Amino acid sequence: TTPTINTTMASTTTRQGDGTITVTPSNPSLQSATIIICHGLGDSSEGFIDVAEHLSSQMPHVKFILPTAPTQKVTMNMGMAMPSWYDIVGLDKRSNEFCKGIEESQQRIEQLLKDEHDNLGVPYDRMVLAGFSQGGALSLYTGMQLPSKLAGIVIMSGYLPHESGFNIANGLHDTPIWHGHGAADPLVRITAANESQSAVKAKGATNYTLKTYPGLAHSVNPQEIGDVLSFLQQILPPGGEGDFKVKLKEPSEMSVKELKGAIAKAGLGRLAVGLMEKREFVELLEKHRDG
């Protein structure tokens, strides 16, 4: 499926046929960090695109990736099929041990991180996993069991899933974890948030912050998003370590099709009108990357 592309001055939003949305700096050479945001049960990547674009406007050096969960039957919802990172049997602690499909989703998120690292050279300590509800649970479960330490993990209205299968990997115990939760959440109750923090700490985590929001139900509000932004700005400051920059394919090595795609994503379509020769497309893209 042909991706749809929307460009502003600072970023480019691309929607892929598989439901993945990316928000990338309009000049991709400015990227020095990546944040993956996983949505909640029954939602899609569209559910958090407004949040991602808001965060992007404040953190123009960050690329945001929003995947959509596979559609599968959910036991708790009478077997109805919906986007879900894994099956949910119930919301009590015992039911929370049955999370069929969580390993597959864990591997998918790990692959997204690996692709950013292998293809663009983004260090793991310049990447963050974030998510809401079931997506926050997946981010916590995945992020603390990776082969390399992330810059941090953001959980919004989430919890620790499949506790018996969760063990923190060597060297990851001090990974910064920020957990925001509505005190009036009737679905994932605040007791589940407290129990999750205690369980993760019992496994050895040393940097787990839980902040509650009075009156907030199973949702987010502007105050929480502001706190998320502050946390992200703290763990992913602009520029990265040293002179890190993403590894981009040189325009001169691209095909004409690749050049046209990169020019469209950069919002340079108007400037490309009338261009015919490959070298003209190369010059336009090089000039844009050089600022």
For residue 257, the tally of other CB atoms under 10 A from its CB is 8
Task: Give the integer Cα–Cα distance in Å for 256 and 252.
Answer: 10
Bridge partners of residue 127, in order along the sequence: 34
139 catalytic? Reply is no
Rounded to the nearest 5°, which phi and psi values hold at 99? Answer: -130, 60
Do 65 and 52 contact (CB within 8 A), yes or no?
A: no
Residue whose tokens read 């592309």: 5
End-to-end CA distance of the chain: 31
Query: Helical H runs in 124-268?
Result: 134-143, 190-202, 222-235, 256-265
Say whether 50 is catalytic: no
Q: Which of 61, 162, 173, 218 is catalytic?
A: 218
Catalytic: which of 11, 139, 157, 185?
Answer: 185
Rounded CA-CA distance 26/113 in Å is: 21
Q: Is 227 a catalytic residue?
A: no
Q: If we measure between CA atoms, which residue out of 239, 13, 42 comes closest to residue 126? A: 239
Q: Is 41 helix (H, G, I), strand (E, B) or coil?
A: coil
Provide the residue type at 182 as one letter: G
Which of 11, 44, 133, 157 is flagged as catalytic? 133
Annotated catalytic residues are 133, 185, 218
